[in-house]
Structure 1
Amino acid sequence: MDQDLLAALDIGGTKIAGALVDGEGRVLLRARRPTPAREPGGTVMGAVAEVLGELRAAPQWGRVAAVGVGSAGPVNAGRGTVSPVNIPGWRDYPLVAGVRERVGELPVTLVGDGVAITAAEHWQGAARGRDNVLCMVVSTGVGGGLVLGGRLHPGPTGNAGHIGHLSVELGGEPCPCGARGCVEGFASGPNIARRALADGWRPGPDGAAGAAAVAAAARAGDPVATASFERAARALAASIAATAALVEIDLAVIGGGVAQAGEVLFAPLRRTLKEYATLSFVRHLEVVPAGTGTDAGLVGAAAACREVLGRPE
């Protein structure tokens, strides 16, 4: 067909990525800018505009049928606005209107980034063919999305499954979202590193102090680094088990940068999950790594368009 491609935006606290995606979920072209997360909202939108401008300059742009946007949340799909916890300059920011100014008459679909990654995993990844799934992205923040009864379940505003702000410690530290003891405060990459540093872990000679460095130290047997990942795993396990008890998922898929730690995260997560998923109908719950890799947000934003366009998954 003439319009057989989808444009996708993946907007997070660290990067703004864009792509052209074909009907098989293949990324044909990429564009990327760092997120000026501490700058005013217009500056952040300027980075989005640069990414869109690079995509629009591509010769394939004429084949684009729609634009999908997966953004850090909360989002409000009905109003086309976003209020990402990790982008303070965007509060009820009219992101869809800003995108439409730059893409003309093309349809624009907005979902939370966790919902986008869920759409990707259900279309092309580890949740393909499964009917009741929680997908999580554990990265700069912690997000998620749900597949229920075989269909993506974004909820009325596009935020359903936003598990990072489920409280797992009722009297815990204040979270930027306004609540206390959120999963994100334990399991996001920056918080894994922050807690390890606070407990006495020190970076190696290269000075790297992020979650990947903590994971490397844990892999080498550092007890403080290991404890930080076990704390993150426990928070994730509690939230996954709670979700399973509520909506009877039978699979949890975990992606994002922190999931790249591999068994440093997944081994304590699977072990700890047995302590929380104790009811008879959740004991069979599986936890697996995401299958769509670093392009999950982009493929998912494209996948979110497909339903709007009436194209089967």
Structure 2
Amino acid sequence: MSTQVTAATQLSTVGVEELEETPRPRSRRPGPRKPLGRLVLNICAFIVVVASVFPVYWMVNMSLTPSNKIISRTPSLIPLEFTFQNYVTAWTREAAPGQTDFPHALMTSSIVTGGVILVTLLFAFLAAVAVARFHFKGRVGFIVAVLIVQMIPGEAMMFTIYGMIDDWRLMNTMLGLGIVYVAAVVPFTIWTLRGFVSGVPADLEEAAMIDGCTKSQAFWKVTFPLLAPGLVSTGIFAFIQSWNEFTMALLLMKGYNLTLPTWLNSFQSATSATNWGAVMAGSTLIAIPVVIFFLIVQGRMTGGLVSGAVKG
């Protein structure tokens, strides 16, 4: 019995010695932080933010500054003597005979932009689903054509567009301007939505069809909610492009049917000094709907992303 105990003790001692001699794996320690690199990145980010925000701030600052202070040689970064008269002037400015005023220009831009968003999303959504989900003859050629059309600048086709709209008797009409905007925005929207549709696996629809849904029900109940963020993103692009477009609106619209960017251009006159305070106030009024639209749609886009992830 004592011999067995001694042997067991020796074995345990040898095992402990082997464990002690076996090198233990070193724990990974977090690498040293690089405060200098992070500081440089923060400085670069701050410079980018200031360069992006300062023009907007300066526009709002000048819109609240009296006219006699705007042309001063020492402009102030903070409007110490601010006034809202520039906004009153921009809103109630009496248009020249045959020209538009701000309320009518706002209505024209709103109607054209709203129509462009609806028509663009409808056509682009159907085309993106067809390109991403179906394999038909001429599919690759259609995608290449979309890319080529997107690369051509609109200014290169100004005379062609002018002649075509004039032949259709749509000059100086919201319908003619809306057709031009839709043609300009649809290619990019199709290409963007195609990526969203391709990112949604077709297996989700097949699983829904196994559970008893028809093909259309599976698409609208499973795939479409996942595509909502893409529709919102492309809708924002279509809104900004249509709302801020100037060249085609200046070419096709005149008189009482001006949009907001072309209405703002009417402040310049060859016979009188430009009221820069009213111009800055008008620019701020034009930018406010864009900010409001983005704030409303941003929450919907985030909600669509979360909802799509849960449903998927």
Whose Rg is larger? 2
Which structure's residues are more often strand, by fraction? 1
Which structure's residues are more often helix, by fraction? 2
Same fold (TM over 0.5): no
TM-score by length of 1: 0.23
